[in-house]
């Protein structure tokens, strides 16, 4: 069976018409992932026993005439910053190379309750810090569209697995662009929902006020189905929203004629001409479909990167303090004293990017600098959020590029953190504002590198976002 291209809807139809069983599907998906993985290094672990156990439950329900759930039999990959009971969860870090969590993240539990088959854990930048997946302690991931290039990051493994067909869908996490940017680099759909829409329980914290879990998929329908399963209030995460979960798939069929689309002028500066060309074609397509396109301004955009790297490093320096050699982590074997154990474990275990961020974050939070940096960044964050509120007074959605450039070569930006940080210039603002945003495939550059178009809407207007994305996809956005 060809598992590499299946959609969720095809799997549901295939199971119900007895074309294949969930166990057969899981077996072939596992074999395919094992055979293909050396090309990308997307999977850090394949969970054969767990996948087959889930598949057997689905088959049992089907033969008992029960509803096995909307994700029945769907081979799903999980970014390795999301905890899985009894399955090693490394966060791409040497520190956690032996960490086996005692519980499942809420999103994982919901996927399995909906019949999903957890295939394995996916590579990522260490503690989700990075834009290229090169900060993983377990080696970089290669882009399936161009093996000498990065898949983007930090959810590089999730995007690569979905693009490669070794997962039908995957969970990623996004703090400043880590779902959308790799989705755009690999040519798949990536969704960052409204902050609080999906429970963070079991997502290893990087920057808690910015962290989101969201789906990656090969089409908008699959992303909408997966989000529908994982979204919703969770008593285990006090920041998860009470708002009822809307029917995202139903929204995909509403017409877009008359929808007002804003193009923020600040997002069309400094991008490569190839990327610009594709996004302009995408916008033209939306116009042809009857959308009204207006130029808008988000004037605080130039401050977003600085603001983000103060807030996220501040939060990271606090969140990463727990990895001290006492619990969770490996422990330095050289340490003789308690102080040495802390210093040596952290010194040996964290990679360079994490250390850089811990130092920066500690600095911006320190007495004397707190007001100058951290407090000011919080104020700028509020201004960025207000820019979006103002824009949404006149438009229903914003459309922008996801990244100023397509997938770059492995190693190309490794020695220049600032260049790397600039990859996220168009995604960070949406994360800071906590609004729903997604990347949809928007053709490719002349070199054949995928380009993603970003759609952003008001808080909790995931239906509006899916409506536009699905329409764009149907109208041929993929193949421009
Ligand atoms: N690339 C950004 C960073 O390095 C975003 C990461 C993320 O969204 N997790 O922080």
Count the residues in the chain: 480
pLDDT over 90 (residue 304): yes
**Model pLDDT, residue 480:** 42
Taking the CA of residue 206 as reference, the ligand 1 atom at the shortest distance is 9
Residue 418: pLDDT band (50, 70, 90) is confident
Distance, CA of 44 to chain centre: 17
Rounded to whole angstroms, the Cα distance separating 3 from 435 reads 34
Tokens of 476: 């041929």
Instruction: Say what the pLDDT of residue 478 is.
Output: 62
The Cα 147–Cα 82 span in angstroms is 26
Q: Give yes or no for a contact between 357 and 313, defined as CB atoms under 8 angstroms apart.
A: yes
Residue with tokens 């919080």: 378
Q: In sequence order, which ranges of 165-293 are alpha helices (DSSP H)?
A: 180-186, 220-230, 248-251, 273-288
pLDDT of residue 234: 98
**From the candidates 21, 136, 173, 178, which is the catalytic residue?**
178
DSSP characters over 51-89: HHHHHHHHHHHHHTT----TTTT-EEEEETTB-BTTB--
pLDDT tens profile 232-276: 999 999 999 999 999 999 999 999 999 999 999 999 998 999 999
* Model pLDDT, residue 423: 84
Tell me: pLDDT of 82 over 80.
yes
Whether 265 is catalytic: no
**How many angstroms separate the CA atoms of 22 and 241, rounded?**
33
Residue 419's pLDDT band, with cuts at 50, 70 and 90, is confident
Tell me which DSSP letter residue 418 carries. H
Among residues 80, 45, 173, 66, the alpha carbon closest in space to that of 115 is found at 66
Centre of ligand 1 from the C-alpha of residue 249, in Å: 28
- Kind and range of the H or E run holding 203: none
Write the pLDDT tens digit of every residue in 192-232.
999 999 999 999 999 999 999 999 999 999 999 999 999 99
* Rounded distance from Cα 109 to ligand 1 centre (Å): 25
Active-site residue identified among 21, 93, 136, 154: 154
Residue 154 annotated as catalytic: yes
Q: Are 134 and 125 in contact (CB under 8 A)?
A: yes
Would you give the DSSP letter of residue 126? G
**pLDDT tier at 75, thresholds 50, 70, 90:** very high
Tens digit of pLDDT for each residue in 21-58? 999 999 999 999 999 999 999 999 999 999 999 999 99
Phi-psi domain of 187 (left: phi exceeds 0; alpha: psi -120 through 50; beta: other): left
Is residue 329 over pLDDT 60? yes
Q: Could you give phi then psi for residue 138, rounded to 5 degrees?
A: -110, 25
Please state, in angstroms and as integers, the Cα–Cα distance from residue 59 to each residue in 2, 163, 312, 366, 403, following that order: 19, 27, 44, 56, 42
Q: What is the bridge-based pairing of β-strands 212-217 and 189-192? A: antiparallel
Is domain 3-251 annotated with CATH 3.40.50.300? no
Counting beta carbons within 10 angstroms of the beta carbon of residue 205, is it exposed (0 to 12), middle (13 to 18) or buried (19 or more)? Answer: middle
Helix extents (H) in 82-219: 106-113, 156-164, 180-186
**By alpha-carbon position, which residue is closest to atom 10 of ligand 1?**
129
pLDDT at 417: 85
Question: Distance between CA atoms of 18 and 103, rounded to whole angstroms?
Answer: 34
Give bridge partners of residue 264 from the DSSP assignment.
Answer: 296
| Residue 100 neighbours by CB under 8 Å, 6+ apart | 86, 87, 88, 89
Please tell me the predicted confidence (pLDDT) of residue 479: 53
State the average pLDDT over residues 284-296: 97
Quick check: 437 pLDDT over 60? yes
A 10 A CB-CB count for 272 gives 15
Contacts of 179 (CB under 8 A, 6+ apart): 155, 158, 172, 173, 190, 191, 192, 212, 214, 215, 216, 439
pLDDT of 2 above 80: no
| Sheet hosting strand 75-79, strand order edge to edge | 43-46, 117-122, 75-79, 169-174, 212-217, 189-192, 437-444, 450-456, 397-401, 260-264, 292-296
Instruction: Give the SS3 label for residue 397.
Output: strand
Q: Are 28 and 1 in contact (CB under 8 A)?
A: yes
132 pocket-lining for ligand 1 (C-beta < 6 Å): no
Burial tier of 342 (Cβ tally within 10 Å: 0-12, 13-18, 19+): middle
Distance 363 CA to ligand 1 centre (A): 19
Question: Residues of 141-157 as b/e, b for ≥16 C-beta within 10 angstroms?
Answer: bbbbbbeebbbbbbbbb
424 CB within 6 A, ligand 1: yes
* CB 388, CB 456: distance < 8 Å: yes
Query: What is the rounded distance in angstroms from the CA atom of residue 73 to the CA atom of residue 58?
Result: 7
Three-class DSSP category at 169 = strand
Question: What digits encode the pLDDT tens for the residues 107-159?
Answer: 999 999 999 999 999 999 999 999 999 999 999 999 999 999 999 999 999 99
Q: How far is CA 61 from the centre of its chain?
A: 31
Residue 376 pLDDT exceeds 70: yes
How high is the mean pLDDT of the chain? 96
Active-site choice (79, 94, 121, 413): 79
359 sits in which H/E element: helix 352-365
Per-residue confidence band for 289, with pLDDT thresholds at 50, 70 and 90: very high
Query: pLDDT per residue over 468-478, tens digit each?
Result: 999 999 998 66
Task: Give the distance (Å) from ligand 1 centre to CA of residue 127.
Answer: 9
Instruction: Write down the pLDDT at residue 422.
Output: 86
Question: Domain residues of the chain, as ranges?
Answer: 3-251, 260-297+394-479, 305-372
Ligand 1 atom 4: the closest Cα is on which residue? 130
């Amino acid at each position: 069976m060809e598992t590499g291209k299946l959609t969720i809807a095809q799997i549901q139809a295939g199971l119900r018409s007895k074309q294949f069983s969930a166990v057969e599907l899981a077996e072939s998906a596992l074999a395919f992932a094992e055979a293909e993985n050396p090309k990308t290094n997307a999977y850090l672990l394949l969970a054969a026993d767990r996948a087959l156990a889930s598949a057997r439950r689905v088959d049992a329900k089907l033969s008992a005439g029960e509803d096995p759930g909307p994700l029945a039999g769907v081979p799903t990959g999980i970014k390795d910053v999301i905890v899985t009971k009894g399955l090693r969860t490394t966060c791409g870090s040497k520190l956690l190379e032996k960490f086996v969590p005692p519980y499942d993240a809420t999103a994982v539990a919901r996927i399995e309750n909906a019949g999903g088959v957890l295939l394995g854990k996916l590579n990522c930048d260490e503690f989700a810090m990075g834009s290229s997946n090169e900060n993983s302690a377990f080696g970089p991931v290669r882009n399936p569209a161009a093996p000498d290039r990065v898949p983007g990051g930090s959810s590089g493994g999730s995007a690569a697995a979905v693009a490669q067909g070794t997962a039908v869908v995957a969970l990623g996490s996004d703090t400043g662009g880590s779902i959308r940017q790799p989705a755009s680099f690999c040519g798949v759909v990536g969704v960052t929902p409204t902050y609080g829409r999906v429970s963070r329980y079991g997502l290893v914290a990087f920057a808690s006020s910015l962290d989101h879990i969201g789906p990656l998929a090969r089409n908008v329908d699959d992303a909408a189905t997966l989000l529908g399963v994982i979204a919703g209030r969770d008593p285990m995460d006090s920041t998860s929203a009470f708002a009822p979960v809307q029917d995202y798939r139903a929204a995909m069929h509403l017409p877009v004629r008359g929808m007002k689309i804003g193009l923020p002028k600040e997002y069309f500066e400094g991008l490569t001409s190839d990327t610009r060309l594709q996004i302009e074609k995408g916008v033209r397509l939306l116009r042809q479909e009857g959308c009204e396109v207006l130029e808008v301004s988000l004037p605080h955009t130039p401050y977003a990167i600085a603001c983000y790297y103060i807030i996220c490093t501040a939060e990271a320096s606090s969140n990463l303090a727990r990895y001290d050699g006492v619990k969770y982590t490996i422990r330095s074997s050289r340490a003789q004293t308690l102080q040495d154990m802390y210093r040596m474990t952290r010194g040996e275990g964290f990679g360079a990017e994490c250390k850089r961020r811990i130092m920066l974050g500690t600095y911006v939070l320190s007495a004397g600098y707190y007001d100058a940096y951290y407090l000011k960044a919080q104020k700028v964050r509020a201004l960025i959020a207000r820019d979006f509120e103002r824009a949404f007074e006149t438009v229903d959605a914003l459309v922008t590029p996801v990244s100023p450039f397509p997938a770059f070569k492995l190693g190309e930006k490794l020695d220049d953190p600032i260049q790397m940080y600039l990859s996220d210039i168009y995604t960070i603002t949406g994360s800071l504002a906590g609004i729903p945003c997604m990347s949809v495939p928007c053709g490719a550059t002349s070199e054949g590198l995928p380009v993603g178009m970003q759609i952003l809407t008001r808080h909790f207007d995931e239906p509006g976002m899916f409506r536009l994305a699905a329409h764009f996809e149907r109208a041929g956005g993929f193949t421009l």
